[in-house]
Amino acid sequence: MTSFRSGDSVWANNQGYAGRQGTFAEYCSIDESLLYHLPANSDPAQTVIVVHSALTAVVGLCFRAHLKANLSS
């Protein structure tokens, strides 16, 4: 079962899955598990700028710098 329909606006942040870096294609074939719905009435360019930048920060801070939450507070 899919949560997407033909014509849905989606985005995918391909941070090197299976050795592939991102794409700048208007149309592509990608596994549904890597897709996200764009929020209703959102500007696609602005939305992707925000989520891509946020995910880049997560990769750098959590996976590269190994930043962890202080759960003892």
Check: CB of residue 10 under 8 Å from CB of residue 4. Answer: yes
pLDDT above 80 for 73: no
Summarised one tens digit per residue, pLDDT across range 18-67 is 666 666 667 777 788 878 888 889 998 898 788 878 888 888 888 889 98
More confident call, 30 vs 8: 8
The answer to the question of residue 69 being in a domain is: no
Q: In terms of residue numbers, what domain contains 35?
A: 10-64
Please tell me the predicted confidence (pLDDT) of residue 45: 85
**pTM exceeding the 0.85 threshold for the entire prediction:** no
- Domain count along the chain: 1
The answer to the question of residue 4 being in a domain is: no
Please tell me the predicted confidence (pLDDT) of residue 51: 82
